Amino acid sequence: MVDRAKIQRSGKAKWTVMVYMAGDNNLDGAALRDIKEMARVGSTKDVNVLVQLDLLEDKKTRRFLITKGGGYERDCLEIFGETNTGDPKVLEDFLTWSTERYPAERYFLILWNHGSGWWEEARSRAAATKSPGARSLRTRSRASFFHHSTNATGHSTHRSICYDDTSGGDALDNSELKNVLAHACTAIGKKIDILGMDACLMTMVEVAWQLRDSVEILVGSEIEEPNDGWPYVEILEFLTAKPKSKTHIVAKEVVKQYVASYRDQGETVTQSAINTAATEDIIRVLIPLAVELLSDLDKNRKLIKWAWDHAPKFYDDNYLDLYAFAQKLRSKDRGQIRVKADALIAALKTGITKSILCQGKLGAEVAGTKGLSIYFPAESINSAYRHLDFASDCQWAIFLERYLE
């Protein structure tokens, strides 16, 4: 087993991996399995593997430095009482503890929970009349990072990111997550190198744009994840064997290993790595497309509906693949819509400096996807959408409001 004191004495590591496991819900068993996976590789002098786990079973929170051959029983450094994973201060404290005690050249934060993209139903915000329901959640997938439930009256309750069952279902909303990560960046003097979302539906242009000032690369799934989530053994084996790898190489390896882990299992999966700052290139061409679609909405409505119908959609038809939607638009138009859609398609090509660094997928259902989705509901708009940075900075929200009115 790796000696903890030796790891800490070795000075600044190449990487510190910080896994924030919101297990105070129906995923507590999966959390223990993933920690066991991590312990098959463990930390080295170049890579710190840290975990903070809030469990439902005993209502305690634990911090770990994962060592090879260690795990849940052997690697716990601290035990304290019940915490609320939806409290931004709890995540902030974990990030402070991690970066101060285990400094590194680069930081890889993994938010481990359920997932449902940007979606939130904030306490003070009215939700859409029809919110995504159970039929969008596969029985073998992790369902709802930005999670939904209903109370006794049948009304939706507030559940956003890293929700905590024993804290009244509290959770981090998009603004809170943005602020926590901004504080972490100030403390370490740089952006978080990789933000991994071991959760469903998280590689959305809205999410990437919200976090662009605090995260270099966002890695996650465009669709729902199978229950097994990320393959931690393979990811940590690569990172510990090649800790000097550039950030984009590590992100690409996560995508590669995730997809490979489900090959020949009959699963439909996607995984992509997004250069968050480069999403500005998407907004720059998405705004003219939205304006063009609105320029003669009555005339364009039939084309928009056809493209929406034929593009891959997720989360109860609330999200669609942005690349596929643009492809469908341009396939039926010979005028300015085609020109504007082509510009968007060009911005969605993969590459080291592009918004989509890389993407991988398995399954016929996702054959036309590119790894980045956007909000486009079938009926009404969740009013919380208007509070996102993306809605303020891009004409897309205006387009949705006019098209769906």
320 or 4, higher pLDDT: 320
Q: Are strands 313-314 and 319-321 parallel, antiparallel or unpaired?
A: antiparallel
Domain boundaries, the chain: 4-118+169-277, 279-354+364-404
Query: What one-character DSSP code corresponds to residue 385?
Result: G
Q: What pLDDT band is residue 89 in, cutting at 50, 70 and 90?
A: confident
| SS3 at position 392 | helix
Tokens of 241: 């064997």
Cα–Cα distance measured from residue 178 to residue 186, given in angstroms and rounded to the nearest whole number: 12
Q: Which of 105-109, 118-122, 129-133, 289-293 has the lowest mean pLDDT?
A: 129-133
Interval 243-272: pLDDT, tens: 999 999 999 999 999 999 999 888 999 999
Cα–Cα distance measured from residue 221 to residue 217, given in angstroms and rounded to the nearest whole number: 13
Cα–Cα distance measured from residue 362 to residue 259, given in angstroms and rounded to the nearest whole number: 7
Rg (CA), the chain: 21
pLDDT above 90 as % of the chain: 66
The pLDDT, as a whole number, for residue 37 is 96
The pLDDT, as a whole number, for residue 65 is 98
Residue type, 176: E
Q: What is the DSSP string of 17-77?
A: EEEEEEESSTTHHHHHHHHHHHTTT---SSEEEEEEEEETTT--EEEEE--TT--TTT-EE
Q: What pLDDT band is residue 152 in, cutting at 50, 70 and 90?
A: very low
The pLDDT, as a whole number, for residue 199 is 82
Question: What CATH architecture does domain 4-118+169-277 belong to?
Answer: 3-Layer(aba) Sandwich (3.40)
The pLDDT, as a whole number, for residue 5 is 47
Q: Is the pLDDT of residue 139 over 80?
A: no
Residues with Cβ within 8 Å of residue 321, at least 6 apart in sequence: 222, 311, 312, 313, 368, 369, 370, 372, 373
Q: What pLDDT band is residue 160 in, cutting at 50, 70 and 90?
A: low
